[in-house]
Amino acid sequence: MTAEARRAVLGQNQYGKAETRVVRITRSGTTHHIKDLNVSVSLSGAMDDVHLTGSNAHVLTTDATKNTVYAFAREHGIASAEEFGIRLARHFVTSQEPIHSARIRVEEYAWERIGTPDGGEAPHSFVRAGRETRTAEVLYDGEEWEVVSGLEGLVVLNTTDSEFHGYVKDRYTTLPETRDRVLATEVNARWRYAGTDVDWDGAWARARDHLLHAFAGTYSYSLQQTLYAMGARVVERLPEVEEIRLSLPNKHHFLVDLEPFGLKNDNEVYYAADRPYGLIEATVLRDGAQPRLPVHPARP
């Protein structure tokens, strides 16, 4: 085999920014609408030089593709995942001569409005579409029963009615205070019944409803305050429940800085950060009840 036959050649290639999380909130008075997307951009074209010689002359940075997603969400809104993908792909191919094709992959996370006790809908409180996991644990020692129900992965979000300020500040504190923020969490809850004479399906459904109604109905100054309101509503309104343990990760939504692009961001475009995250946990008991639920239960 000759040296010429062994020569390496560059084949098909592409590059881009994967999994840009963008949350677009449209505020129509007190009624809000939400679009939550995970956008991946893949570009290809006249990119031989960057691979073969290291020349970046034809390279639009992946950081710029990420920023374009955020800026387009602000300037054009998000009518649908398809429309948004079409708009992005057209922009990349028509605005950059070396880019010959663009592939935009979009995952959309659907949200449903949280219902209110009177049968209506909360205007700015949402629950992630798709069922969470229902859990149950039964302990019997031949004489006594202990039944614990629960749920995992109930994702909820308020687009307003949440503040966070007045906290301790030391030399390492960088988080700015806010009087209006997105509050989102994944509810993981376990509650212990006082006995076994219980309509299990009905009690579980009512506990879930109370958790949602408390989340939607609480003007929040901290996730700790919201957690207590959720737990208190369950033990106060369900006489069969003596204790509830809640674990609420703070699913942070940070405003995107659009000023470098000459755009204002009036609480409209956010990026959703999955880690690191604050983790808020507490037990709420009926007055006089003894705590039995473990602080760190086994997680699926």
User: How do the domains of the chain map onto residue ranges?
Assistant: 20-108, 113-253+270-285
Which CATH code of 3.40.50.300, 3.10.270.10, 3.40.50.720, 1.10.260.40 fits the domain covering 113-253+270-285?
A: 3.10.270.10
Please answer whether residues 185 and 216 qualify as being in contact, where contact means their C-beta atoms are separated by less than 8 angstroms: no
17 tagged catalytic: yes
Query: How many whole angstroms separate alpha carbon 95 and alpha carbon 82?
Result: 20
Instruction: Please tell me the predicted confidence (pLDDT) of residue 300.
Output: 39
CA 194 to chain centre: 34
Q: Return per-residue pLDDT of the chain as tens, 300 residues.
A: 566 678 999 999 999 999 999 999 999 999 999 999 999 999 999 999 999 999 999 999 999 999 999 999 999 999 999 999 999 999 999 999 999 999 999 999 999 999 999 999 999 999 999 889 999 999 998 899 999 999 999 999 999 999 999 999 999 999 999 999 999 999 999 999 999 999 999 999 999 999 999 999 999 999 999 999 999 999 999 999 999 999 999 999 999 999 999 999 999 999 999 889 999 999 999 999 999 998 865 443
Nearest to 228 by CA among 208, 242, 209, 248: 248
DSSP-derived 3-state class of residue 63? helix
Instruction: Please tell me the predicted confidence (pLDDT) of residue 1.
Output: 59
Catalytic residue among 35, 66, 124, 252: 252
Query: How many whole angstroms separate alpha carbon 51 and alpha carbon 41?
Result: 19
How many C-beta atoms lie closer than 10 Å to residue 212's C-beta? 21
91 tagged catalytic: no
20 tagged catalytic: no
Whose tokens are 């991946």? That residue is: 40
Query: How many whole angstroms separate alpha carbon 118 and alpha carbon 219?
Result: 19
Query: How many whole angstroms separate alpha carbon 7 and alpha carbon 196?
Result: 75
Tell me the torsion sign for CA atoms 139, 140, 141, 143. Answer: positive
Instruction: Please tell me the predicted confidence (pLDDT) of residue 265.
Output: 97
Catalytic residue among 62, 116, 135, 283: 62
